Chain A
Amino acid sequence: MYTFSSKLKTFSFILMIVGVLGIGYSFFTAPKDINDVEAILASQHGHHGDAHAEGAEHHDAKDAHVNTAHSEDAHAAAGHDAHDAHGAEAHEAHDEHTHHLKHVLQQLQNKPWAGVYVAALFFMLISLGALAFYAIQNAASAGWSPVLFRVMEGISAYLIPGAVIVFLLLVLGVMGSHHLFVWMDKDVVAHDHLIQGKSGYLNGPFFLIRAALFMGGWIFYRQYARKVSLAQDEASDNLNFKKSFKAAASFLVFFIVSESIMSWDWIMSVDPHWFSTLFGWYVFASFVVSAVTVIAMVTLYLKSQGYLEYVNTSHIHDLAKFMFGFSVFWTYLWFSQFMLIWYADIPEEITYFVTRIEHYNLPFFGMVVMNFVLPVLILVNTDFKRLTWIVVLAGTIILCGHYVDFFNMIMPATVGDQWFIGAGEIGSILFFMGLFIFVVFSAISKAPLLAKRNPLIEESKHFHY
């Protein structure tokens, strides 16, 4: 039995407290009205050279344009015969300026919400990915992994609080507390024919029903699988093992469908004009590689603490191979989606990547380095895949890279060029990481770490590759 060390528990509480402070700070400092925005934009004149410089320059140009239109010099230069016309023009420019400020205001007000949403989604999907991986191992009758089942079950325990938080965020969106999903805004929809055409699908109640159904299904499988897995420990036959096999197969069918729809709903619909058929599988690749990484890291931690007697370097090697393989798979899907849209260059699709390349250049291409180049170079070596520090190093890069991937999926549509990784984003990561650690290790401490009577456990104990 694992006992949740008080050190780790304290650490998780500290993470949560620091995280809450960061999140609170980001909400507190978000602008309240357009005057605040004007002040922020003005202050950005003095802050060049950070990651935000490109966006700031963009605004400088706009501000300069507006100022010129307002100034007396420009008024004189325009000539007296065009006086009336120019007045109208200046007025128009003023309107445009206000419109722009309102736009930036919304982006800045979205920012703390988006920071929380990205982190909440990321950690919940990690636990969902671990559950899917667990189901695959069960359905495939894998002989190597049963000694890791309790670790995977523990990680999947976060699905319950994680899904509840994401669901609350979605409910808040439908209620109008935040504007991450532009299609939930009635004023926007009133002027947008494209979104109107989709409102049969993209509407608050149906959206929440789908979310509740999917999360309910995943949590139901998780609880059931855990129950039969524990029951098998005490059983005298393999009935529970057979049940877990059947449950895993049914869950995987439900999962492939719900996962696709989930990714359209919770991620793709922040850009309601954009669509891509590959998107669901792309999102899957991103979180499943993160999930396998987390499984490997939690396993290594427990092993280092002297638990997990039967886990050897071969098990770690296999997990590292999956990290490697899924990293390549993610890149394959990333490239397929990106290249096909780039190649055909159809205006309604290409805007998605145009905004990312223009405003998110470093995160967009940086994540390809973090999610593909580095993991492949580090994990291609067989001996390296058995070294704890190498797996932890590659795992850290992969997890950071896939956080950035989710960041790139959500932020451009919600905060646009006003992004930066500050107190809100880091606070959210820390908060959810703390919660994740607390929930996962509490769950792991509740059951023996070895699935005792699993018919494949002997194979797994003796596993050597």
Chain B
Amino acid sequence: MSSHYEAPIRKPLVIGDKNFHDVTVDVAAPVEGRANKQWWIVFSIALAAFLWGVGCVAYTVGTGIGTWGSNKTVGWAWDITNFVWWVGIGHAGTLISAVLLLFRQKWRMAINRSAEAMTIFSVIQAAMFPVFHMGRPWLAYWVMPVPNQFGSLWVNFNSPLLWDVFAISTYLSVSLVFWWTGLLPDFAMLRDRAVTPFTKRVYSIVSFGWSGRAKDWQRFEEVSLVLAGLATPLVLSVHTIVSFDFATSVIPGWHTTILPPYFVAGAIFSGFAMVNTLLIIMRKVSNLEAYITIQHIELMNIIIMITGSIVGTAYITELFIAWYSGVEYEQYAFLNRATGPYWWSYLLMMTCNVVSPQVMWSKKIRTSIMASFIISIVVNIGMWFERFVIIVTSLHRDYLPSSWTMFQPTFVDAGFFIGTIGFFFVLFLLYSRSFPVIAQAEVKSIMKTSSEKYKKLRDQEGHNNHSHSDNH
């Protein structure tokens, strides 16, 4: 791909005295070892939350959607808020894998695997909401354009909710294929190291007989590049279509053309925050600090800062255009956000999303693990409120004052959301114990250019024969 020369100002991406074998051992260790007590405790909590969520969903489906706090005016509330939130989080995974691959960002190697896993698991959470927020979810298959016995009754392709079905299902399947393709060499590594017949069998099956020949690698690289090229527009279009759910409407506060790119920016923002949250813990508990370095965290923080600024610009644009439009409904929608009964949620969203990423301008803060961890959580709270504000404050007061109302969530709303968080962590915890959480094959490809050990070796050589004397 690129030359072996790397500028001396670039900091190493793999720190410590690591050779190729060390990478293998470090990545395989969490999979080959046994889970400790903390893992079981956290897993049990996640499982309990998940089961509680299952109960809430069962109650909703059995009793009816009226168990939720939504009402005749506010027909969408927590259901769609959570849906958009989870989809947004799912975006950073593919972004890291695809966009950062297209931009040849070597630091992606250490984080892409977990980011993609996060994508898959959060899209699964997201996909539950469109089904279970239906009044009659058992008829959900009617959204599919399949020939049938009702005189071939078809779907209407004009609805963004139908586009959602295609977008989410395509996104999930492409992300899954992209992720699994990248896993093949790593599963093969685990297969070759397996000591029990059972693990040998399992990793043989999932690695699809990968043998790592030159031709295989050549095609592997090409497939990754093509999938990255396809996944990038997919990332943009999926969240764009999610934003169309609102932007195509005529509701003041929803109908605005900036929503597509602004939702995408927000998705990257919240997704990176979630990756940061997960990886800061993972690097510690799985002893991967040599690979997920402070530099990785800093770079993720910078992306959070940039996308946070883009989101901030979009907020201000919306506010300005609402005033500039001269449309009183539009003006009121924003006045209501800022000073209406949900002012606190608007204030929270503004503080968490606009103010908090700006502290990353300070190098001291963005290279502090504690600060990064706190801000990454703050951002995800803020982004949840962003969706809540957009959805609920635009609905609860719109054209006709006689239909103005409020929204109050019930424990079932909350239970479903908690359940998805539980389910997400169940999946992620299982993943972190059975999958190679760092793409070791990719990390090995940058060892010679970007690891601390080889950089030192090269420097010594450089001093000996003065090959780059113009740089001294």
Contact = CB atoms under 8 A, between A and B. Distances in A.
Interface of A: 141, 143, 194, 197-198, 201, 238, 253, 256-257, 260, 264, 275-281, 328, 332-333, 336-337, 339-341, 343-344, 346, 348, 455-456, 458-459, 462-465
Given A201-B324, A348-B327, 7 more contacts: A194-B326, A253-B309, A275-B325, A332-B240, A332-B261, A337-B257, A462-B5
A232 to B, nearest CB: 13
Most B-side CB within 10 Å, residue of A194, A275, A333, A455: A275
A197 B326 contact: yes
B313 A260 contact: yes
Contacts of B326: 194, 197-198
Nearest to A336: B260
B267 to A, nearest CB: 15
Interface stretch (B68-76, B206-214, B248-256): B248-256
23 contacts: A143-B2, A198-B326, A256-B310, A264-B320, A264-B324, A275-B324, A276-B321, A277-B259, A278-B257, A281-B258, A281-B261, A328-B233, A332-B236, A332-B260, A336-B261, A340-B248, A340-B260, A346-B255, A458-B7, A458-B468, A462-B3, A463-B3, A464-B3
A465 B318 CA distance: 41
A463 B5 CA distance: 9
Contacts of B233: 328, 332
B152 interface: no
Interface band, chain B:
35 or more
B317 A344 contact: no
Contacts of B237: 332
Nearest to A250: B361
| SS class, residues of chain A in contact with chain B | helix
A216 B86 CA distance: 43
Contacts of A341: 257
A464 B2 contact: yes
B412 to A, nearest CB: 33
Interface string B138-165: 0000000000000000000000000000
B244 interface: yes
A306 B239 CA distance: 46
B471 A277 contact: no
Nearest to B244: A340
A463 B310 CA distance: 31
A344 B250 contact: yes
A277 B5 contact: no
A279 B262 CA distance: 12
Given A458-B5, A465-B1, A336 B240 contact: yes
Nearest 3 pairs of A and B residues by beta carbon: A277-B258, A278-B257, A336-B260
A197 B257 CA distance: 22
Contacts of B8: 455
Contacts of B317: 260, 277, 280
Contacts of A343: 248
A264 to B, nearest CB: 8
Interface string B309-332: 110011001101100111100000
B199 to A, nearest CB: 39
Contacts of B216: none
Most A-side CB within 10 Å, residue of B259, B314, B326: B326
B469 to A, nearest CB: 12
B35 interface: no
B240 A459 contact: no
Nearest to A329: B236
Contacts of A459: 3, 5-7
B188 interface: no
Given A336-B260, A464-B2, A344 B313 contact: no
A456 B9 contact: yes
Contacts of A276: 257, 321
A277 B318 CA distance: 6
Nearest to B251: A344
A423 to B, nearest CB: 36
A455 B9 contact: yes
B353 to A, nearest CB: 16
A341 B1 CA distance: 43
B138 to A, nearest CB: 30
Contacts of A281: 258, 261
Interface in B1-37: 1-3, 5-10
B46 to A, nearest CB: 37
Contacts of A328: 233
A277 B6 contact: no
A197 B331 CA distance: 12
Given A277-B321, A344-B249, A458-B5, A256 B257 contact: no
A370 to B, nearest CB: 20
A456 B318 contact: no
Interface in B230-274: 233, 236-237, 240, 244, 247-250, 255-261
A459 B310 CA distance: 30
Contacts of A260: 313, 317
A238 B9 contact: yes
Given A277-B318, A277-B321, A344-B248, A336 B257 contact: yes
Contacts of B2: 143, 463-465
Given A277-B321, A455-B7, A257 B260 contact: no
B309 A256 contact: yes
Nearest to B260: A336
A278 B9 contact: no
